[in-house]
Amino acid sequence: MSLETLRPSPAFKDVLPIEYKDLVEHGPYTNRTDPSKQSVKVTDMGKFKEVIEEHPMCAGCAMTLFIRLVYIGMPNPEHTIVVGTAGCGRLAISQASVPFVYGNYGDTNAVASGLKRGLEVRFPNQKKDVVVMAGDGGLIDIGFQGMMHSWFRKEKFTTIMLDNEVYGNTGGQESGMTNQGKVLKMAPRGKFDKKIDALGLAKVAEVDYVARLAPTNPARVARTVRRAIMVAREVGHSYIQAYTSCNIEYSIPTPDVMKDAFAIEKERYGFEEIISPRAQEYLNEIEKKPKKKKTD
């Protein structure tokens, strides 16, 4: 929804909530000519009205930074619906100015499948982006079946895994994405098995756009999110796996959270994109456009 869809009578415009007016006039809800382009820039952070501003997350939480960047990267936040499940992430996500479906445990990708198809039926002329944003436990453990099947069905929405490698919200139990040997609650002798290769699963399921990253480069996060959502809008499914450390359960000193992100990125969480040929073809097309205009 934007002022494009909903046109308030000029007489009523000034009684609209200030937050909403700011989002339209000084934020990402701004009307735009190119529906694949975000109207705000990461480098301008702090200078525009953001989709998410207040949140109850822990001080220094890397996940919060990542979630902020996801909202900035959304090509059309005014036509986006986010689906989540229990976990830390939803504490921030539910505060955003984008509708948030807070479903049952691990039902995100099933709900998103129905939601996306429903929106396609109801709004044949207005693309609505659906984004699942949930934790590693919510997706790889309890939501595993729904996630895998939505990938196999190539449902046209984006899955974003906030991978803090632990159940943060329930108090620090090991998850499928925890590294082998790590001592956490419910893993008193260290986790027995390996971190699940979710990226490998996405490859097997032939997800059209797969990306792994850490929130070390804000512009890259925003660009990756935009690419993932655009591929989901037009081609097939997309999956982003982001390292969003838990400074509480992993005892990372607050000032060192970004230092940890850089270190883990270098060690085992380097930026990686796996793009199907048809997704690549599409991305080439939408990303070349501005260059063409310049040369014309």
Interface residue list for another protein (CB under 8 A): 1, 5-6, 16-17, 19-20, 23, 78-81, 83, 90-91, 94-105, 107, 110-124, 128, 145-146, 149, 153-156, 234-236, 278-279, 281-282, 285-286
d(CA 165, CA 192): 14
In the complex, least distance from residue 293 CB atom to another protein, rounded to whole angstroms? 16
Phi and psi at residue 141, to the nearest 5°: -100, -85
Nearer to another protein, 101 or 199 (CB): 101
d(CA 151, CA 232): 11
Nearer to another protein, 156 or 195 (CB): 156
Nearer to another protein, 149 or 220 (CB): 149
Phi and psi at residue 133, to the nearest 5°: -130, 110
Q: Yes or no: say if 175 and 144 are a contact pair by the CB < 8 Å rule.
A: no
Beta strands in the chain, from DSSP E residues, in sequence order? 80-84, 100-102, 129-135, 158-163, 209-213, 238-243, 272-275
In 3D space, the residue among 211, 231, 230 whose CA is nearest the CA of residue 221 turns out to be 211
In the complex, least distance from residue 226 CB atom to another protein, rounded to whole angstroms? 15
d(CA 260, CA 257): 5
Nearer to another protein, 39 or 217 (CB): 39
Nearer to another protein, 65 or 130 (CB): 130
In 3D space, the residue among 232, 234, 252 whose CA is nearest the CA of residue 244 turns out to be 252
